[in-house]
Structure 1
Amino acid sequence: MNTPYAPTYYAATANPVPNRPALQGEISADICIIGAGYTGLSTGLFLAEQGLKVVVLEAAKVGFGATGRNGGQIVNSFSRDIDAIERQVGHDAAKVFGQMAFEGNRIIRERISTYDIKCDLKNGGVFAAFTPKQMRHLEHQRKLWARHGHNTVDMLDKKQMSDVVGSDVYVGGSIDHSGGHFHSLNLALGEAAAIESLGGTIYEQSPVIRIERGAKPVVITELGRVNARTVVVAGNAYLGNLVPELSAKSMPCGSQVVTTAPLPADVAKSLIPNDHCIEDCNYLLDYYRLTGDNRLLYGGGVIYGARDPKNVEAIIRPKMLKTFPQLQNVKIDYAWTGNFLLTLSRLPQVGTLGEHNNIFYSQGCSGHGITYTHLAGKVLSEAIMGQRERFNAFAQLPHYPFPGGRLMRVPFTAVGAAYYSLRDKFGI
């Protein structure tokens, strides 16, 4: 079965996409990576640069999942910030996370520059606050990041915020000058082409049906098999039940996105004068930016359990109009949903499977995956090459099952989210 891209803005405006064959027959490789999203592509590219023979197996097409459907925003740190990690692992152990929190951003920019990837990269990321409490959180974040050497954040009062976003719904915010945004799928396509330029091979329409574990693992698809020294599991929310012990401690969730018709240049500039990207500070946050062709891309909302909503526009359009009521009559050209993988701790899950330590995994970005996945590729590649300090730091983070098990994880999590949404609404 040939699985096409979802009908997203990214797929409709992608750079040329080569036809990649499905795996047929038996082959061998140093590294077999399951999943051609950012985690798999980043890992594969770092390893291909080291001269290893890399094979990537993708169930659909490069960037089919969250990688090709997200908001396209470069946001530093992790889904839970450095101080939350410090409370779990202690001050000394958390230092390595502080050093890594801003590295994914640098990796993305290095990839774009080194491989000349055309993906509409723009600079500047804004965090928007609705309440004084959220402003206090942003000031805390600015100081926290500065303690770890990241000094590119400035606070914005209400007047300054109005110069950044053409909306009166915010009391202020902050701007990370090192943040930014880009065309998500085109970045993935560029990274895939980079792997191939270094001798790596990517097979599409090749869902993995089984991993034979052992001293020499074998990855099996319907029509072929890969004998590899090392396997990397990088399916995230689209992994299914291929590895039951991973799916037991994570939950796919859906986020919804719309993209307007192209806006007149003066209208686009009035919405976001400096072409930054914006996300708000609510627990269930909204995020938006302008695309390279002057559309407003607006996303938000979470559907726990990753059911596809019947009408994405009906969910997101009211949110967009609350921020920008002046867009009342603007047409929506694209509307889609994409799944991310949530963990109970909201921190990534990293480790190895089995007794031979030759099957690696990274998953559970919890909605904060763009920079983390690029960092994860470097951390995984380091571990595979024998440098495990940073890998071990992630691997030692505890993995928790959701309350109520797989049957009750959706209602329990939805109740928790409703509680925090009410706190956002009332500013407490």
Structure 2
Amino acid sequence: MSELSHTTSYYAASANDKSIRPALESQVTADVCVIGAGFSGLSTAVHLAEKGFKVIVLEATRIGFGASGRNGGQIVHSYSRDIDFIERNYGQATGKAMGAMAFEGGRIIRRLVKDYSIQCDLKDGGIFAACNNKQFEELKGKKALWESHGHQELELLSEAETRNYIGSSRYKGALLDKSGGHFHPLNLVLGEAAALESLGGVIYEGSPAVKMEEGDKVKVHTPKGAVTANFLVVAGNAYLGDLIPKLQAKAMPCGTQVIATAPLSETQQRELLPKDQCVEDCNYLLDYFRLSGDGRLIYGGGVTYGAREPSKIESLILPKMLKTYPQLKGVKIDYAWTGNFLLTLMRLPQLGRVGSHANIYYAQGYSGHGLTCSHLAGKVLADAIQGQAERFDIFASLPQYPFPGGRMMRVPYTAIGAAYYNLRDKLGI
């Protein structure tokens, strides 16, 4: 693989657009420069370009190279910490404001798909599956919580009813979210890139940001060029690197693994997921799965802390898949890949500004809920740059703690916590 190659995923193999944009090799100017051509960066860029801003996006490798092009492809609402946690810890006013935004990301995705005719195999419906009775009781609480914040498209499913949606005896019940859904994430992010270009925006691939100069205007240097802009949006997330050490200290890259089977027969597909909806279970270290547009089972889960590449992804995920679907024993696995997401100590997204000129914005740390939350963050950042910062200020008011012990200790501390929650998952407590 060259430095500009995507990972060896099913998504990369089936991408609609495999063309490579040129690298930046000159001095250019823009209203806004965005670092990172993933969901956060492109959502920000498209929302700004729709309002007439000149936007340039710098991507170190390829559009959607990071988590945006590797994830499970599921529309899952709210945040990694739910609204009740926010209310308890940061007050009812903050909880109410965050609750009002918790279901917007999915609407933004559907709006972009519709407005720009993005072909990404978008399908409706998502399911939270309970592995034990305790989790099923917690799903009843989630339903009541989300309904109290205006989300009414939910249906609780008994154990027997769940079998109509998931062809597995593993689950004790489920919560159906009719506004959930799933899609090909790399084709979505590529479609968003094309949308930005149709609005006059420019994306440079193979153009990592290597140095930043603050001032009334921000200057971002790449190996062979530079962008001078009124505003900078930093949206590199788990793939940002050392450009802004202050941001790196507040979050930790974590790896998750995914496999994709060979295409299944229509009979097999109906047996596994009769209504073709996506699923995630309720464990702390959760599994997630769905059918692709061409009838493969895409199954993911597992976490490696500190962004270590697992040597044998299939050996980690295949036992999980077979625990859910033992009837798939012997099925061919065509693709296996890993990708990094960014975990924060409080498992809440981090939005804010850095520098002394109030013109450098960032969004990061969705802690496993990035697909919808990144699209929301892009809209919130775009609004703030346009002078409507009320919603941005809500996010920015949330405390952003560094990991205890600094960079050396964040991996072992978090791994110990994960081992504890994994044990709880297994014991059903």
TM bin, normalised by shorter chain, reads over 0.9
Deviation at 1:2, TM superposition (A): 3.9
Alignment of 1:126-275 (within 5 A): 126-275=127-276
Decide which moves more: 276-285 or 11-20. Answer: 11-20
Q: Which amino acid aligns with 2:215?
A: G
SS of aligned partner of 1:177: strand
**Are 1:17 and 2:10 matched, yes or no?**
no
Shift of 1:418: 0.8
Alpha-carbon displacement from aligned partner over 1:352-379 (angstroms, at most 9, x marks no partner): 0111110000000001100000000100
The match for 2:388 is: 387
Q: After superposition, what is the alpha-carbon deviation per residue over 1:340-399, rounded to whole angstroms, capped at 9, x for unaligned?
A: 000000001110011111000000000110000000010000000000000000000001
- Per-residue Cα deviation, 1:235-284 (whole angstroms, up to 9, x for no partner): 00000111100000100000000000000111011000000000000000
Q: Which residue of 1 aligns with 2:29?
A: 28
Q: Tell me how far apart the structure 1 counterparts of residues 358 and 19 of structure 2 sit (CA, whole Å).
A: 34
Larger deviation, residues 38-47 vs 88-97: 88-97
C-alpha offsets along residues 317-338 of structure 1, whole Å, 9 cap, x if unaligned? 0000000000001000000000
- In 2, Cα distance between equivalents of 1:135 and 1:210: 50
Residues 86 and 94 of structure 2 are in contact (CA less than 8 Å); yes or no, is this contact kept in structure 1? no
Separation in 1, partners of 2:61, 2:175: 38
Distance 2:26 2:198 in 1: 23
Give secondary structure in 2 for the equivalent of 1:150. Answer: coil
Match in the other structure for 2:329: 328
Work out whether residues 127 and 277 of structure 2, in 8 Å CA contact, stay in contact via their aligned partners in 1.
yes
Identify the residue that residue 319 of structure 1 maps to in structure 2. 320
Superimposed CA distance per residue, residues 40-59 of structure 1 (whole angstroms, 9 cap, x where no aligned partner): 00000000001010000000
Q: Distance in 2 between matches of 1:66 and 1:20?
A: 19
The equivalent residue for 1:276 is 277
Q: Give the TM-score normalised by structure 1.
A: 0.99
Please state how far the C-alpha of 1:136 moved relative to its aligned partner. 1.2
Q: Deviations over 1:289-336 (max 9, x none)?
A: 000000000000000001101110000000000000000010000000
d(CA) in 2 for partners of 1:244, 1:338: 21
The separation in 2 between residues aligned to 1:357 and 1:332, in whole angstroms, is 49
**What is residue 340 of structure 2 aligned with on the other side?**
339
Give the equivalent residue in structure 2 for 1:72. 73
SS at match of 2:164: helix
Report the equivalent of 1:120. Answer: 121
The Cα of 1:87 is off from its aligned counterpart by 1.5
Counterpart of 2:363? Answer: 362
Equivalent residue, structure 1, for 2:414: 413
Letter of the structure 1 residue corresponding to residue 219 of structure 2: V
The unaligned stretches of length 5 or more in structure 1 are none
Moved more, 345-354 or 399-408: 399-408
> Equivalents in 2 of 1:2, 1:418: separation in Å?
34
Conservation of the 8 A alpha-carbon contact between 1:17 and 1:189: no
Q: Which amino acid aligns with 1:272?
A: L
* Aligned-partner SS, 2:269: helix
The alignment covers a number of residue pairs equal to 428
Question: Which one-letter code corresponds to 1:409 in the other structure?
Answer: R
Report the CA distance between 1:16 and its aligned residue: 2.3
Q: Does structure 1 retain, via aligned residues, the 8 Å contact 2:50–2:199?
A: yes
- Percent of aligned pairs sharing the same letter: 61
Give, in whole Å, the separation in 1 of the partners of 2:354 and 2:216: 12
The answer to whether the Cα contact below 8 Å between 2:20 and 2:62 also exists between their aligned partners in 1 is no
Please give the secondary structure, in 2, of the residue aligned with 1:163.
Answer: coil
| Rounded Cα–Cα distance in structure 1 between residues aligned with 2:132 and 2:14 | 37
Distance 1:92 1:250 in 2: 26
Give 1:200 deviation, angstroms.
0.4
Matched residue type, 1:294: G
CA RMSD of aligned residues (A): 0.7
Comparing 48-57 and 79-88, the one that deviates more? 79-88
Q: Report the 3-state secondary structure (helix = DSSP H, G, I; strand = E; otherwise coil) of the residue aligned with 2:382.
A: helix
Whichever residue aligns with residue 231 of structure 2, its letter is T
Q: Deviations over 1:130-154 (max 9, x none)?
A: 1111011111000000000001111
Other structure's SS at 1:309 match = coil
1:262 touches 1:295 (CA, 8 Å); kept in 2? yes
Distance 2:381 2:363 in 1: 8
Which residue is 2:294 aligned to?
A: 293
1:209-233 per-residue CA deviation (whole Å, 9 max, x = no partner) reads 0111121110000000000000000
Q: Which amino acid aligns with 2:242?
A: N
Question: Per-residue deviation at 1:93?
Answer: 2.2
Contact 1:10–1:68 under 8 Å retained in 2 = yes
Q: Is the 8 A contact 2:39 2:189 kept in 1?
A: yes
- Assess if the C-alpha contact under 8 Å between 2:68 and 2:189 holds in 1: yes
